[in-house]
């Protein structure tokens, strides 16, 4: 069974997806980490992420893998662990370029489909899982939250690293990320008609979000 979780940035979908997979004993697949890994590889090797042809040439020779460890999911590119670089605070703009690249998306979508099929039972999390990667997923969730609340959560996470940050700046950046995710020419964030909406605005944490997801699945007669 495939569970597709798509949604907006900082909506809490990653922590919920991880916890849901753990509860069900399913494999968790963080597809955003794969886009991040390709961005980190390009950065490391001096490939300009906005040079779409150069990126496309390289990506065909990359082996992008995810590995689960006790400390969380890691991304490996051609066997090298690039997780730290892939999750660095200043990787955002590079990742957006990579996520806009049509050829990168073709390669990563195929890798994600392979990982999902190999797992058998999997929770995949991203932007285009229910629309492109697994349009036939048995369960699709669309996770979001009010933009002010998402900005508050990001501020709380990022303030220790960047003490000068303001709520207004984070809110503006969050709206810009939403716009970029929603208007991407390929693999744009869309709410599929068969998706179940999960609004996390008033949730205290992933436990509550997972409880909502499990309740929705039980209502669909899944034995979870």
- Where does this chain bind ligand DC (CB under 6 A)? 9, 31-32, 35-36, 95-96, 99, 126-128, 181, 187
Nearest approach in angstroms of CB 98 to ligand DC is 7
Q: Which is nearer to ligand DC, 36 or 74 (CB)?
A: 36
Nearest approach in angstroms of CB 223 to ligand DC is 28
Q: Which residues is 126 bridged to in the sheet?
A: 6
Nearest approach in angstroms of CB 22 to ligand DC is 18
Scan for tokens 């990742």, then name that residue: 95
Q: Which is nearer to ligand DC, 24 or 38 (CB)?
A: 38
Residues in the chain: 224
Backbone φ, ψ for residue 130 (5° rounding): -75, -20
Q: Which is nearer to ligand DC, 83 or 96 (CB)?
A: 96
Q: Are strands 27-30 and 122-126 parallel, antiparallel or unpaired?
A: parallel
Q: Which residues is 80 bridged to in the sheet?
A: 77
Nearest approach in angstroms of CB 86 to ligand DC is 9
Q: Which is nearer to ligand DC, 24 or 75 (CB)?
A: 75
Q: Which is nearer to ligand DC, 18 or 36 (CB)?
A: 36
Nearest approach in angstroms of CB 165 to ligand DC is 17
Q: Sheet containing 196-199: which strands, arranged edge to edge?
A: 27-30, 122-126, 2-7, 139-144, 196-199
- Measured between alpha carbons, how far is 142 from 198 in angstroms, rounded to an integer? 6
Q: Which is nearer to ligand DC, 26 or 35 (CB)?
A: 35
Nearest to 98 by CA among 157, 142, 44, 55: 55
- Measured between alpha carbons, how far is 121 from 168 in angstroms, rounded to an integer? 41
Measured CA distances, 119 to 2, 25, 150, 204 (Å): 9, 11, 31, 30
Nearest approach in angstroms of CB 200 to ligand DC is 15
């Amino acid at each position: 069974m495939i569970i597709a979780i798509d949604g907006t940035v900082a909506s809490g979908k990653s922590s919920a997806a991880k916890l849901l997979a753990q509860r069900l004993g399913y494999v968790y697949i963080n597809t955003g980490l794969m886009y991040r890994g390709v961005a980190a590889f390009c950065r490391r090797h001096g490939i300009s992420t906005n040079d779409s042809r150069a990126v496309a040439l390289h990506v065909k020779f990359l082996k992008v893998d995810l590995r689960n460890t006790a400390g969380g999911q890691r991304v490996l590119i051609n066997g090298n662990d690039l997780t730290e670089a892939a999750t660095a605070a200043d990787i955002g703009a590079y990742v957006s370029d990579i996520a806009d690249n049509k050829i990168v998306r073709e390669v990563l979508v195929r890798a994600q489909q392979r990982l999902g099929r190999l797992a058998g039972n999997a929770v995949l999390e991203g932007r285009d899982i229910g629309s492109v990667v697994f349009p036939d997923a048995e369960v699709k969730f669309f996770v979001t939250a009010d933009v002010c609340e998402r900005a508050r959560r990001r501020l709380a996470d990022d303030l220790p690293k960047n003490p000068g940050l303001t709520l207004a700046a984070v809110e503006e950046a969050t709206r810009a990320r939403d716009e970029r995710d929603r208007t991407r020419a390929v693999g744009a964030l869309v709410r599929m008609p068969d998706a179940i909406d999960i609004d996390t605005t008033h949730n205290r944490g992933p436990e509550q979000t997972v409880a909502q997801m499990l309740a929705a699945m039980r209502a669909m007669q899944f034995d979870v």
